[in-house]
Structure 1
Amino acid sequence: MGIVNATPDSFSDGGRFLDPENAVAHAMQLVDEGAHILDVGGESTRPGAESVPESEECGRVLPVIENLSAKLTGTQISIDTRKPGVARAAVEAGADIWNDVTALTYSPDSIETAAALECDIVLMHARGDPKTMQDNPYYDDVVEEVYAYLAGRMEACTKAGVDERRLIIDPGIGFGKTLAHNLALLANLDRLCALGRPVLLGASRKRFIGVIDNANGANAGAGERLGGSIAAAICGLQKGVLIFRVHDVAATRQALAVSAAIAGKP
């Protein structure tokens, strides 16, 4: 899953792809590098980010999705949004997947909209909203609490008429978690695979990589975290993760292919 941030303030590439033409060109490059899914977002959910009005978010993502939908065959398009209205408009424009960092809890209409759209849904765990989620997050057992939360969201979705076969789950690395929480989740991704649905891992370029690197004497900014991002992806592959949400598609694809070959997997 290649990341296409049509935003002015995403933590890694904010502003570079706000212009629809730039976003489309970047997305096509990611496809050339081997992306199977393009995840288009118009509202940053980095720590501290402010909410964006629905009309503005639609204005950022719909031209990109419409253009990509007309150009591409065999590549899925995902809309990265919390808002059911944006998701509905994006699916009408050609999106195949709704990637929701709130696991369909942002709006009372979210689950009903998901059931009506009949698209694939990513349910991600997060604690708090982007503005407050890193304010001293605490868990007694982060792995089991994330597992229970996602199991509960899956049950709520199926009760509302969402086909369970359309659900994908995401532990939400960096969303209301400390370094220790992120590492515990990465070490136990196989526990989440036990829920029986594909697991998506979004660890690419995230802050915890820089924290680890800085502790070893370096100072890795967001654009200098490729090695750590690949390490997290390989860990995920070994634990059973099926979808990798990344900025650096070519390098990650190559690393995963070699890791799989060493393990004797296709």
Structure 2
Amino acid sequence: MSARLASGVGNTLGELLIGIAPRTDQLLLKAVDDAGKNKVEALEVTANAVDFQLRTFYTIGKELVVPLVAVPCVGALCLITAEIVEGIARDAPPGVWDGFNGVVRWLSEVINSYALAIAGGMVAAIAVLLFMLPRWTGQWRVRAEGLPAFSLYRDYNAAVVLSSMAMMIRAGKTLRESLEEMRGPAAPWLRWHLTRVIRSIEDNPTDYKAAFARGLMPPSVRARLNSLLDSSKSFGDALVVVGSTELKSLERRVEISARSVNWAITGSLVSLAVVLSLGTMTIASALSREAEPSRIMQRAQQRA
């Protein structure tokens, strides 16, 4: 950076940090360059916005580490338990497999027969999901925003948009200019949402509530914005308040969404492992009953 400054390669902060700062942060740096005499304040706000984004990203990573570790371990436990159950099934009498034990046996047979296909399907589903998150748009996507992974992606992007808009508005940009600045380098999903907000403002320049109620912002953020409108001079001022002073609550919202994804991924496998483990205990109990002399005599009479 100092070499670029000394050689005169860059004349602005954004130009000096090209290739150093992430592409998404270039918008914030450009807003600092456009802040005029308020560059120091704009730079401080930018630092807070970037710090918030890093903390949020760390929160998501921390919550998603658990499934990365737990899924292989729990999956291996399910496979071992399924093999034990199927081994018992080769010699156990038919009376053992009534009711719940029969379900456990069926699950074990499915796991042993299709373990590789199930694992491959899970990997493919995760890959498709990661591909779709920044790209899938449309009304069906809006309806899917309540699902754990999609709500996490929405909440994270909403937090980033709010912190970035707060910074750019405080640096002197208008609400419309801030939206236009963010729309250019945004991923297809975010660009689609920002375009919807801009078009809504174009159709009805005074109805900001409707513009920001079209799916980009989670309900809690929309409610907070609406409550702040009564005490703010403009909607832009309300956005600045939410994006600047409500960062902790936004961060908490992202953490809750990340935790929901965590439990959604690990909860299904843990539930399966619990069912199989309980099954081994009920199967052992059924084997003990079938080994009683009265049951042995009853089976002998039935065969006779």
Q: Give TM class, smaller chain.
A: under 0.3
Taking CA–CA contacts closer than 8 Å with sequence separation of 6 or more, which of the two structures ends up with the larger relative contact order? 2
Bigger helix share: 2
Q: TM-score, normalised by structure 1?
A: 0.24
Bigger strand share: 1
Q: TM-score, normalised by structure 2?
A: 0.22
